[in-house]
Structure 1
Amino acid sequence: MDFTKIITFSLLSLSLLIPTRTTATCTNAVCRRGDPIIRFPFRLKSHQSQSCAYNKGFDLTCGANGVNRTTITLPFSGNFTVELIDYAAQEIWINDPNNCLPKRILTLNLSATPFSGVYSRQFTFFNCPTSEYLRFRPLNPITCLSDKNSTVFATASPRVMNYLSSQSCRLMKTVEVPVRWPFYEQAVSYSELSDNLWLTWRVPRCSRCEIRGGKCGIKNNSSRETICSDAHKPAIPRRARYAIAIGAGIPGSLILFGLFCFVYSKINSCIKRRRLVPDINNTHAHSYQPSVIVMGLDGPTIDSYPKIVLGESKRLPKIDDATCSICLSEYEPKETLRTIPPCQHCFHADCIDEWLKLNGTCPVCRNSPEQISPSDNFNS
């Protein structure tokens, strides 16, 4: 064998040993029309290779028992249908294929999965006599757990818990339920437990890549490290965008103040010209005192708006809240956010604090918090 063949053979062998990127070979998949699109970190077992998933915990199938629906199997908890996957928020919404989610919640165990609750809320289940149902009429029963002899309720409200405990009801179990947003006072009701379970995954971290329109995937066949391809980076850093956004409010305030002074001077001069005899003795008493226009809110009002420290799930009241509308930067875990109570729009605390000092309205909906009645706030 000559040297040319030896070199060619060596290069070919070396190329086979070098890990290759797998993101290009993993195309999107779907079980049926209307079901979630499956891509990294998930994979559809019947359509995509193992390398398309971050690990086995993200394996999905097209249902079981002849039901062609996107399904995920959770160790210790069984099969759940996948209703939606939000890749930017890193959330998956699941439900019970047999339409009795509260029953599945009683035995839910996420310890062996890559998922956790977006937020968790303690719900207590009570078993009450059906014969006394009229006494509990304002409460909504869990029909799939109830029968002719007993009616089951679930509540996260301490007030309702105390009431049911004082009646002829038996406490069944208290469980942590993954919920969408922690600030809701989820009173009772089957309606609160019949919604999807809201789960999130902390790794791999692909939310930033997704928000920028990139494609997240495993870097190579021998590593769990992820890469982001085809992402669009913002042209201006966050601090610069923040400075521009806040700075833009200062010229606006100065222009309005100048316009007010101009109009006031014109009116004042017009009044003086219409006087037949100038009131010289009262010149000093009626001399112009410059007025101060307060464009924003005061410090105590701003401080009264609730703050939250963002968790790993980065879940906010509004589903599409992925970035701060003031600095245009995406939220990161452990950042401090402030919420405007009436409209529940969230922002970086430092961004909205400076904004509200100059502008007394929400940057998103332009509603003034002071103009909204306190009764509009959600009672907790």
Structure 2
Amino acid sequence: MASSAIFFSFFLSLSLHVSATDLDDICPVRVCHPRGPEIRFPFRATDFHPERCGYPGFDLSCNVRGQAILQLPDSQYFVVDLINYEEQFVVLKDPSNCLAKRLQNLTLSGSPFVAEQYGRFTFASCLEDLSSLPGIERVDCLSDQQNNVLVSPAGDFYAFWYFSEFGCRNWTVSAPVSWQHPTDITERVVLKWDRPDCRGCEESGRRCGFKGSAGSDVGCFGKPGLSKRTKFWILTSVMLPSLLCVSGLSCYLSSLAQLSRHRARQGQPPNGERSANNVTDVSFPTSASRETRSASNTVVGIDLATIESYPKIQVGDDGQVPRQDDHICAICLSEYEPKETLRTIPKCGHYFHVQCIDQWLGLNASCPLCRDHKRYA
């Protein structure tokens, strides 16, 4: 039996000294609940980890409710709500949800933890509920129907005056919680630790642990990596812009595909070559050409501002068009598709694809169907 213990200690020492992979094998991360904090060095789960997997005073246990429990001196038990290994602090709550009662006699002497900040609070036992007054809170877990236990920051003159005026019995407590907000004393307490100092290991993405089978020397194990915070910022600064670029490229390619399909319906190849059987001239006549055509008594097109003033309509989701017997654009000879945008000539009421009629009217001031050569502009 003794030889087995010696062999195990030697094996543990060798494993902890060799690599982080072996450290993970001997001292794996433990959780009491999937949503609970990770338990690893300097903490250890007493029902799971060997003794050398944790630092003295950092023992945790799992209760039947899946909560990690930390025992402080004088048999003080607290629920561990959060452990921050990089900044070395722990957030504690009371198992019975009455932290204000536990803080009345809390002592941290003999433990590796110290308070981030101490605050002084005045408690008062009153017959009247004064919690509606500014700066005073009622501690429900300490109160009953006959007695109201109230709390306020020590030194609050108005709260002290109210307690005296209503004949309350009051006392002052120094507690390791922030003093700015009285309700903090009923919610949680934040404690930090300085030894062992594993912040360098955590920041480099490595694991912290004892260097050997004896002694208190602590070292880092594993190859340097990136901390969780650094990984988060890398993902935010690199992956997000990449996703935006991919999304923009997808939208651009989709737009090109839609334009290509529309040109194909007009009979124009995607490369922009003209078709002899369709009206596909996408350019408007220049001012010089308009003047020349006007001089030769040829009807010229309508200016762009006037064309844009003509109303637009949209084909319905089911392909419904304004006129049941008019499903084909007279310019490109393509059927109207659902959700396509059409433009109407106000004088005659005929409608066509927006692209088709805009190009037509830029060259001709007449409707393609009724051929009314009187200018619309």
When residues 169 and 86 of structure 1 are mapped into structure 2, their CA distance, relative to the original with a 3 A threshold, is farther
Structure 1 equivalent of residue 90 of structure 2: 92
Structure 1 equivalent of residue 108 of structure 2: 110
2:6 pairs with 1:28: no
Partners in 2 of 1:33 and 1:220 — Cα distance?
A: 31
1:226-305 aligned within 5 A = 226-230=218-222, 232=224
Structure 2 equivalent of residue 212 of structure 1: 204
Q: Provide the identity percentage.
A: 30
1:4-63 CA-to-partner distances (Å, cap 9, x unmatched) read xxxxxxxxx9x95995353612110011110101000000111111110111x1111111
Q: What SS does the corresponding residue of 1:166 show, helix, strand or coil?
A: helix
Structure 2 equivalent of residue 6 of structure 1: none
**What one-letter code is carried by the residue in structure 1 that aligns with 2:92?**
I
Partners in 2 of 1:68 and 1:137 — Cα distance?
A: 38
Shift of the alpha carbon at 1:148?
A: 1.7
After TM superposition, the score normalised by the length of structure 1 is 0.50
Partners in 2 of 1:123 and 1:231 — Cα distance?
A: 47
Match of 2:153 among 127, 147, 156: 156
Partners in 2 of 1:39 and 1:79 — Cα distance?
A: 19
Structure 1 equivalent of residue 192 of structure 2: 200
* Larger relative contact order (CA 8 Å, sep ≥ 6): 1
**What one-letter code is carried by the residue in structure 1 that aligns with 2:164?**
S
8 Å Cα contact 2:124-2:169 kept in structure 1: yes
Shift of the alpha carbon at 1:116?
A: 1.2
Q: What SS does the corresponding residue of 1:83 show, helix, strand or coil?
A: strand
Structure 1 equivalent of residue 320 of structure 2: none
Shift of the alpha carbon at 1:205?
A: 0.6
Q: Computing the radius of gyration over CA atoms, which structure comes out larger, 1 or 2?
A: 2
Match of 2:138 among 138, 141, 150: 141
8 Å Cα contact 1:77-1:104 kept in structure 2: no
8 Å Cα contact 2:137-2:152 kept in structure 1: no
Shift of the alpha carbon at 1:81?
A: 0.9
1:357-378 CA-to-partner distances (Å, cap 9, x unmatched) read xxxxxxxxxxxxxxxxxxxxxx
8 Å Cα contact 2:127-2:146 kept in structure 1: yes
**What one-letter code is carried by the residue in structure 2 that aligns with 1:60?**
L
**What one-letter code is carried by the residue in structure 2 that aligns with 1:227?**
G
Shift of the alpha carbon at 1:75?
A: 2.0
When residues 30 and 155 of structure 1 are mapped into structure 2, their CA distance, relative to the original with a 3 A threshold, is same
Q: What SS does the corresponding residue of 1:29 show, helix, strand or coil?
A: coil
Q: What SS does the corresponding residue of 1:51 show, helix, strand or coil?
A: helix
1:26-65 aligned within 5 A = 26-55=27-56, 57-63=57-63
Partners in 2 of 1:35 and 1:113 — Cα distance?
A: 23
8 Å Cα contact 2:135-2:153 kept in structure 1: no
8 Å Cα contact 1:42-1:58 kept in structure 2: yes
1:70-107 CA-to-partner distances (Å, cap 9, x unmatched) read 11112215221110100111111111111111111112
Partners in 1 of 2:109 and 2:131 — Cα distance?
A: 40
Match of 1:101 among 93, 99, 102: 99
**What one-letter code is carried by the residue in structure 2 that aligns with 1:38?**
I
Partners in 1 of 2:189 and 2:12 — Cα distance?
A: 42
Partners in 2 of 1:115 and 1:27 — Cα distance?
A: 24
1:310-363 CA-to-partner distances (Å, cap 9, x unmatched) read xxxxxxxxxxxxxxxxxxxxxxxxxxxxxxxxxxxxxxxxxxxxxxxxxxxxxx
8 Å Cα contact 1:21-1:218 kept in structure 2: no
When residues 18 and 70 of structure 1 are mapped into structure 2, their CA distance, relative to the original with a 3 A threshold, is closer
Partners in 1 of 2:162 and 2:55 — Cα distance?
A: 45
1:118-133 aligned within 5 A = 118-130=116-128, 133=130
**What one-letter code is carried by the residue in structure 2 that aligns with 1:173?**
W
Structure 2 equivalent of residue 185 of structure 1: 180
When residues 50 and 17 of structure 1 are mapped into structure 2, their CA distance, relative to the original with a 3 A threshold, is closer
8 Å Cα contact 1:217-1:228 kept in structure 2: yes
8 Å Cα contact 2:136-2:151 kept in structure 1: no
Partners in 1 of 2:112 and 2:167 — Cα distance?
A: 36
1:142-191 CA-to-partner distances (Å, cap 9, x unmatched) read 01101122211122252244334432344543222223xx5x633x3xx2
Structure 1 equivalent of residue 293 of structure 2: none
**What one-letter code is carried by the residue in structure 1 that aligns with 2:222?**
D
Q: What SS does the corresponding residue of 2:149 show, helix, strand or coil?
A: strand
8 Å Cα contact 1:124-1:171 kept in structure 2: no
8 Å Cα contact 2:176-2:190 kept in structure 1: yes
When residues 202 and 172 of structure 1 are mapped into structure 2, their CA distance, relative to the original with a 3 A threshold, is farther
When residues 199 and 20 of structure 1 are mapped into structure 2, their CA distance, relative to the original with a 3 A threshold, is same
When residues 220 and 109 of structure 1 are mapped into structure 2, their CA distance, relative to the original with a 3 A threshold, is same
8 Å Cα contact 1:81-1:95 kept in structure 2: yes
Q: What SS does the corresponding residue of 2:138 show, helix, strand or coil?
A: coil
Q: Does 217-226 or 119-128 show the bigger shift? A: 119-128
Q: What SS does the corresponding residue of 1:119 show, helix, strand or coil?
A: coil
Shift of the alpha carbon at 1:137?
A: 7.2
Instruction: Give the aligned CA root-mean-square deviation in angstroms.
Output: 2.8
Partners in 2 of 1:38 and 1:60 — Cα distance?
A: 8
**What one-letter code is carried by the residue in structure 2 that aligns with 1:45?**
T
1:291-370 aligned within 5 A = none
